[in-house]
Structure 1
Amino acid sequence: MEEFSFMTIIAVFEEMFGRGVFWAMVLVAAVITLAYLYVLVRDRAMSMRKFLLAQLSMPIGGALAVWFVMLMTNSGFRDIGGPIDWLVLLGVFAAGAIGFAILVYVVQSIVRGKASDA
């Protein structure tokens, strides 16, 4: 592979997860991002209480992301070979943790509504 492009990355992810699951994940991520932007504009500030609970939930999101990738790729920890595999696994954990924290913040903001931090 001499050329590396954005379309190559999309093709690899479609092959790993399947076309339907991959695009469903992209759609869910876009909806959560739009909901997060809506909440930030609506509240005009971040609630530190909601942000703290969102941060505390990050390990759960990271673990769920690693589990999901292992399930979808039919892999296990015994299949991890070299340093790049560990780096990719850490990247998956980090992305899952950040995404889950955003989701938790959005859900709290929508369920509890706008409230002051007082």
Structure 2
Amino acid sequence: MKELTLETLFAVFEEIFGRGLFWGMVAAAVIVTLAYVYVLVRDRSMSMQKFLLAQLSMPFGAVLAVWFVMFMTNSALSDIGGPVDVIVLLGVAGMGAVGIAILVYTAQSLMRGSSET
């Protein structure tokens, strides 16, 4: 592999997660992102109470994301081979933390409505 392209990344992720699960995760991410933008436009501001609860969920999202990737790749923490592996796992944890925070904030806003602060 001489260069890293978007098609290569899609092929690698489809190989790791399976075609259906990977594209299902992409579709879920797009839906949650659109719902988050809808909530922000509808409410015209962020609720700090909802944001705090979303932030409190971030460690759980980080751990779940790392566990999910390790489960799908059939590996363990003892398989970490070097700095690049640590950087990748930190990236996965970061994306999981941000993803769950957005999901929790959006779910709270959609369930409780825009009248609460």
- SS of the residue aligned with 2:45? coil
What residue in structure 2 maps to residue 46 of structure 1?
Answer: 46
1:1-118 pair list within 5 angstroms: 1-117=1-117
What TM-score does the superposition give when structure 1 sets the normalisation length?
A: 0.96
Whole-Å separation in 1 of the counterparts to 2:52 and 2:69: 27
For 1:104 and 1:3, locate their aligned partners in 2 and report how far apart those are by CA, in whole Å: 37
What are structure 2's unaligned runs of at least 5 residues?
A: none
How far did 1:78 drift? Answer: 1.1
Q: Secondary structure at the match of 1:34?
A: helix
Deviation of 1:116 after TM superposition, in Å, equals: 4.3
The one-letter code matched in structure 2 to 1:102 is I
Please, what TM-score do these two structures have when normalized by structure 2?
0.97
Q: Shift of residue 53 of structure 1?
A: 0.8
What SS does the corresponding residue of 1:75 show, helix, strand or coil? coil
Unaligned runs of 5+ in 1: none
Deviations 1:80-107 (A, max 9, x none): 1011000000000000000000000001
> Matched residue of 1:46: which SS?
coil
* 1:4 to partner: Cα distance: 1.5
Q: Percent identity, please.
A: 65
Moved beyond 2 Å, runs of 4+: none
How far the C-alpha of 1:115 sits from its partner, in A, is: 2.5
Once residues 42 and 75 of structure 2 are traced to their aligned partners in structure 1, the CA distance between those partners, rounded to angstroms, is: 42
- What is the RMSD of the two structures over their aligned residues, measured on CA atoms? 0.8
How far off is 1:5 after superposition? 0.8
